[in-house]
Every structure is written in structure tokens, then in C-alpha cells.
Amino acid sequence: MTFKNKKIVLLTIIIISFVSILIATFIFAEHLSRQNTPKKIYDVIKNLSLIDHKGDQFNKASLNGKPSLLFFGFTHCPEICPTTLSQLSEVTENLQTPINLTNIIFVTLDPKRDTQHHLKEYIQYFNKNVIAITGQINELKKFADNWNVFFETIDSSKENYNLNHTATVFMLDSIGSFRGTIAWGENEESIIKKIINLNKY
């Protein structure tokens, strides 16, 4: 084999190796992405025992095949939760004509105080498309874990304790698949565009 042929063979081997590494890297990244993507909400709640503010079992039928904005919090929250619920209520109400009615799912992380009755009283101040969810804390944690939601109790020795928690809103399409997030403090124009796009799936 001539020196020129050896160079060609060597170059071919290098190219094939490089392409193989790129493909392997892509496949591994895709695998990690799938592992970290939240499961479809229907696949999660079918194994959990949660109830809504009306006292009904929270299940696939509760969402009526509509897109949803999922948010975790608690009713004694001083700012983030009421502000988020108010903003989502206002935006979705104003967009009802160009889009489908969008569920706003408010899941409490404080079931001790947020009973079904208390949630029913609380959400009457927001849009009618809000669905409030409660249940046993271990069931709520399993639900929250699907979206990697963090929460912790502060000053638990006091009656009026507070919670630190993830303030992200998770967007779900009409078949319950995760389609992105809305960040705390995100400007309204961006939120409107995201909700309109969510309704296109």
C-alpha cells in the first residue's frame, strides 16, 4: 500500500470515527432529554389520589381535553401565588375568543391548611377556569416531582408558617404533554404569545 493510500485510509477512519462519536453523542443527549421530560399529566394522575375544589377525583376527565397551565403553590402565599393566578386568569379570560378555554390548575403544597373547602373559597376570586387540587402530602409530592418542583416549609413551628416553592408555570397541551414554561415575572406580552402557541398543538 502506497503512502498516499495509507493517508486516505487513515483519513477515512478518522472521519468515520468522528461521525460515529457525533451520532452516539446525539443519541445519548436525546436519551437524557427524554428521561428528564415530565411524563404526560394523564399518566401521572391515574396513579394518584387527588381531589379538586369541588371534592371530585382529579383525573383525565377533569381537564376536558383542553390545554392547561399548571402551577404549584399555597393559599397563604403572600405574593407569588395570588399574583400568578390573577395574571393567568386575566390573560386567559381576555384570550377566550381567539383560543380554546385554557385550564389553570392550581396545586396546593400545603394540604394541612388548604382543604377542599378552603380551596373552593379561595379560587372564587379568580377566573372560572381555575381548578384547585389537594390531597395527602405524599400524593402531592409525587405529582410535584414529575415537574421537579421544589418546596420546603419555613418556620414550621409557627401556626402561620410559610413555604418556599418553585414559581414556574408549566404549559400542557390538550393531550397533557409538557410544552414549555412561563417564568415568574415574565412580561405579559410573552405570556400571551406562549398561551396562543400552546393552543395550536
DSSP 119-181: HHHHHTTS-TTEEEEEE-HHHHHHHHHTTT--EEEESTTSTT-EEEE--PEEEE-TTS-EEEE
Cell of 145: 416531582
Q: Are residues 27 and 123 in the same domain?
A: no
Please, are residues 154 and 130 in contact by the beta-carbon 8 Å criterion?
A: no
What pLDDT digit, counting tens, does each position of 140-175 carry? 999 999 999 999 988 766 778 899 999 999 999 999
Residue-range definition of the domain harbouring residue 101: 41-198
Q: Are residues 174 and 104 in the same domain?
A: yes
Please tell me whether residue 113 adopts helix, strand or coil conformation: coil
Q: Are residues 26 and 84 in the same domain?
A: no
From CA 137, how far away is CA 75, in angstroms rounded? 15
Q: How many domains does the chain have?
A: 2
So what's the pLDDT on residue 57?
Answer: 95
What pLDDT digit, counting tens, does each position of 10-62 carry? 666 666 665 555 444 433 333 333 345 788 999 999 999 999 999 999 999 99
Q: Are residues 28 and 68 in the same domain?
A: no
Q: Are residues 46 and 136 in the same domain?
A: yes
From CA 42, how far away is CA 80, in angstroms rounded? 27
Q: Are residues 14 and 46 in the same domain?
A: no
Q: Are residues 186 and 158 in the same domain?
A: yes
User: CATH number, domain at 81?
Assistant: 3.40.30.10
What's the pTM value of the predicted model, to 2 decimals?
Answer: 0.80
Q: Are residues 72 and 151 in the same domain?
A: yes
